[in-house]
Amino acid sequence: MIDVKEALQYADLKAVDFFCGAGGVTCGFKQIGIKVLGGIDIDPQFKQTYETNNNVKFVNKDVSNLEPVKLKELLPIERNEDNLIFVGCSPCQYYSNLKSDKTKSKSSRLLLDDFKEFVLYYRPGFVFIENVPGLETKSGSPLHKFKTALIKEGYKFDQKVLNAKYFGVPQNRNRFILLASRISNKKIQLPEENTSEHNLETVFNAIGNYEKFYKISAGTKDETNFQHTAAKLSELNLKRVQRTPKNGGDRRAWEDDDELQLECYKHHNGHYDVYGRLSWEKPSPTITTKFLHTSTGRYSHPEQDRALSIREGATLQSFPLDYVFYSSNQGKIATMIGNAVPPKLSEAIGTSIKQHWKEWLEISKET
């Protein structure tokens, strides 16, 4: 364990970002001065996006098949480092409350168990996990065993479902957050939500500046790094968007039109977000991996007759405007963006860690 003198000499926090994806957590941590040593992910498609934007090493490994002892051969870490943060935001579709086919995501449902083995071996000073709210409530979730293991190792933790919209993210996005520390007798605290409606970042604040987010049509392909690319629309879907009232309208505007109405909704009320437009004055709905399509949710632009562009989706996730996503496949880029932890939310979590670390150092100086 790092003694107090040594800790005071290098009071900088450092982190390892497990299941790093395109780098949402790494981006947020770097913005507030936490040094990220490396990101780990099984999918090599993230490497260029992660390394180019963050200048941090990408480790292309499957943690399910990586022995914990081997990790220190890949990244400069040791056991029992008080200033080390392990981030474990594992793929979460299996525990999502969305009614979707869970077959593909079933194999990833126990990644938290794999992450736990690294936590138990290295005993970092801090642990941060983010996941869908269902991780806490769904039957068969590995969360209970994870928390029991933390307690046995002397960790104290705070857990809560937080909404990203209360942390500067222009998006209504509920996520389960657990933040743990073993360095102090005082329990670490998650950041408080600023629930004042006056402080919410809206869609207009995020993407309403037409000088930056210039007008485009469906099917526009932006070859620059700004990536203001919008998916094509079929003739029928274009008609649907055109008939949907601007600034928050939905498909009820054309439910009596036999040409436009979908068979599945002729005798079904609800799900009005499908084919809906975003509202300028509100945060966006949750940005999923399907935000490029008007038919998968409220992802039609508030005014223009198209779905959100790649850059608009990334901005609603709070990625910086110069964050570039590398892939020739628009769907894969949308997956990178939709699965990411919003950097602004990561900043808030990182700030709580920094505060706890600072308080511990101050107490250590006095003793």
Q: Which residues does 11 contact at the CB level (< 8 Å), separation at least 6?
A: 83, 357, 361
Find the DSSP H helices in 55-169. 71-74, 111-122, 134-137, 143-152
The one-letter amino acid at 215: K
DSSP calls for 191-207? PPP---GGGPPPHHHHH
> Coil, helix or strand for 109?
coil
CA dihedral of residues 56, 117, 339, 51 (deg, nearest 10): 10
**Long-range contacts for 249-252 (Cβ within 8 Å, ≥24 apart)?**
249/276, 249/277, 250/275, 250/276, 250/277, 250/298, 251/275, 251/276
Rg (CA), the chain: 22
How many Å apart are CA 3 and CA 5, to the nearest integer?
Answer: 6
Q: Residue 131 forms beta bridges with which residues? A: 176
- Angle at which helices 24-31 and 343-366 pack, to 10 degrees? 50
Find the DSSP H helices in 244-342. 310-316, 330-339
Strands 35-41 and 14-18: parallel
* Element containing residue 41 per DSSP (H, E): strand 35-41
- Token pair, residue 117, equals 């083995």
> Coil, helix or strand for 161?
strand
Q: Which of 20, 27, 92, 264 is catalytic?
A: 92
How many Å apart are CA 13 and CA 7, to the nearest integer?
Answer: 10
CA angle 7, 355, 365 (to 5 degrees): 40
Is residue 264 part of the annotated active site? The answer reads no
Q: Report, as residue numbers or ranges, the catalytic residues.
A: 92
